[in-house]
Amino acid sequence: MNQFKRWPLALPALVLEAWIALSLFFAPGWANGWPFGLTIHAVWSGGMAVIGCLMLMTLAAGIGAAISSLLVRYHVELRLAWLVYRAWLWVCTIAIAILGIVMYRTLFAEALRMWPNGYHP
């Protein structure tokens, strides 16, 4: 039995995440006025980095499930397919976490450049 056959479900999830990301990206006012001294620079760049990492992880899960589905289809043992899937997800998680830090720093610098005195709609 192929437990990875639902990998196409990652596509609608990715579309929904992209829609949310675009909505947040083009309306930065949501990141204004946070408590505890959080500036729009930190909140907006953090939100964009998180949604970017979420989209990349969804894509990685879908690709890993598709690869594992092919392994099962071509009669590779199910236990080995799960091992490949878990290893793929761990590698992707580490890479995406590192990329998330880079995204946050880059977006923070860009937010400072775009709104040096904060965002005033």
Asked if the structure places residue 73 within a domain, the reply is: yes
Who wins on pLDDT, 96 or 115? 96
DSSP calls for 82-96: HHHHHHHHHHHHHHH
Asked if the structure places residue 71 within a domain, the reply is: yes
Question: Which are the contacts of 120, defined by CB distance < 8 A and separation ≥ 6?
Answer: none
- State the total domains in the chain: 1
Cβ–Cβ under 8 Å, residues 28 and 77: no
Pick the closest to residue 59 from 21, 27, 108, 110 (CA basis).
21
Asked if the structure places residue 4 within a domain, the reply is: no
pTM (whole model) above 0.85: yes
Who wins on pLDDT, 53 or 78? 53
Asked if the structure places residue 67 within a domain, the reply is: yes
Per-range mean pLDDT, top range of 21-25, 33-37, 116-120? 21-25
- Is the per-residue pLDDT at 1 higher than 70? no
